[in-house]
Amino acid sequence: CLLSFIYTDFSEAGANTAPATVPNAATNRILGRWLLGCSGLVVGAVVLGGVTRLTESGLSMVDWHLVREMKPPQTRAEWEAEFAKYRQFPEFKIMNHDMTLPEFKFIFYMEWGHRMWGRLVGLAYVLPTIYFWKKGYFNRSMKGRALGLCGFVFFQGLLGWYMVKSGLEEKPESYDVPRVSQYRLSAHLGSALLLYCASLWTGLTLMVEPHKLANTKRLNQLRRFAKGTVGLVFLTALSGAFVAGLDAGLVYNSFPLMGDRWIPDDLLAFSPTLKNFFENPTTVQFDHRVLAISSLTAITGLYMFSRRMMLPRRAKIAISCLTAMAYAQVALGISTLLLYVPTPLAATHQSGSVALLSLAIWVLAELRKVAK
């Protein structure tokens, strides 16, 4: 799909740009479509990674090989050998000691699919970058951005394995369910979201013509408001990784109260106090609630502030879509909590966070200043 998406404009560029220099408007449109396609693949990786975490499949592959693991086990002997390796690690010993080979195949294929999708993302960035570079489609700024995006993809892959390793380590002092470090999980998700945001923003700015808006005081205030809102939405999505990493969605499954209190007794149960914000499931869930409500409030305020201004129709649509998605996302989050985190609903909620972030970036793209 990505290749056909880009190819649509190749003939157009060849027809329209023969006498012209590159880069130009036609080649920028090609680059924009490429980056939007890449950002879509990153979304797929984030969603698949979330489902892998929710189905507790992420620790099924105990090795990491860039090429060799691309072919999954084929024969029963190969499957038995892979299963034997898995049985040596804490997740099997503590949690899955009665797992059968067919059950292992399911979690293995979930993790394998996530890793293969990650390799597809890498190819989608690197191969077109080489081609476009040779064709002269990149200006100086885009060369730096393309190299940065490709480097970030490689970093993301290494960070993913670094995360998985934390769940494979023996921890004799701990009787908890084996899981990856919530710190590394948050870093892995955060870097994926940064890659996505950078790709989406660059793609939109290459494809969408900026509005020629007068730089009034109120418009500049709206832009700053929108930037702050994007930061808050990003932080809320990142806090969701700590919720997932600690299974914090399975404590205090009530709303708006946590149990029968607004502020639970064990909010600051850990010492030192700072540790609660990253390792106490109660505090992590409480923080995620506060950030979610703050994001909803900020987006509602952005919508109300924008209604008092004369904005282009496309910008108004973007802000309206952002507002509608914010309320839908909060409803999804509350439903996920009250129903004790069913996998389909939780996966939809995680996907909703990316949709919300996407719409927030679209709003920024519509409100951006015209380059001089």
Give the 3-state secondary structure of residue 258. strand
The answer to whether the peptide bond before residue 23 is cis (omega within 30 degrees of 0) is yes
Tell me: the pLDDT tens digits for 77-121? 999 999 999 999 999 988 888 999 999 999 999 999 999 999 999
Q: Hunting for tokens 């960035």 — which residue is that?
A: 125
Q: What percent of the chain has pLDDT over 70?
A: 92
Tell me: the pLDDT tens digits for 324-335? 999 999 999 999
pTM: 0.89
C-alpha separations of 164 from 62, 95, 259, 340 in Å: 8, 17, 33, 25
Q: Are 298 and 232 in contact (CB under 8 A)?
A: yes
State the pLDDT at residue 171: 75
Tell me: the pLDDT tens digits for 20-54? 577 788 899 999 999 999 999 999 999 999 999 99
CA 187-45-166 angle, to 5 degrees, is: 40
Q: Please give the average per-residue pLDDT across 130-141, as a whole number.
A: 94
State the pLDDT at residue 345: 95
Q: How many Cβ atoms from other residues are within 10 Å of residue 20's Cβ? A: 12
15: pLDDT strictly greater than 50: no
Q: What percent of the chain has pLDDT over 90?
A: 78
State the pLDDT at residue 67: 83
Query: Residue 177: which pLDDT band, with cuts at 50, 70 and 90?
Result: confident
The answer to whether the peptide bond before residue 344 is cis (omega within 30 degrees of 0) is no
18: pLDDT strictly greater than 90: no
| CA–CA gap between residue 147 and residue 143 (Å, rounded) | 6
1: pLDDT strictly greater than 60: no
State the pLDDT at residue 10: 47
Q: What is the DSSP letter of 261?
A: B
State the pLDDT at residue 3: 47
Q: How many Cβ atoms from other residues are within 10 Å of residue 113's Cβ? A: 15
Measured over the CA atoms of residue 61, residue 62, residue 64 and residue 67, the dihedral's sign is negative
Tell me: the pLDDT tens digits for 195-231? 999 999 999 999 888 888 878 899 999 999 999 999 9
Tell me: the pLDDT tens digits for 282-320? 999 999 999 999 999 999 999 999 998 899 999 999 999
Q: Please give the average per-residue pLDDT across 337-346, as a whole number.
A: 94
Residues 6+ apart with CB under 8 A from 72: 108, 109, 112
Query: Residue 190: which pLDDT band, with cuts at 50, 70 and 90?
Result: very high
Tell me: the pLDDT tens digits for 241-252? 999 999 999 999
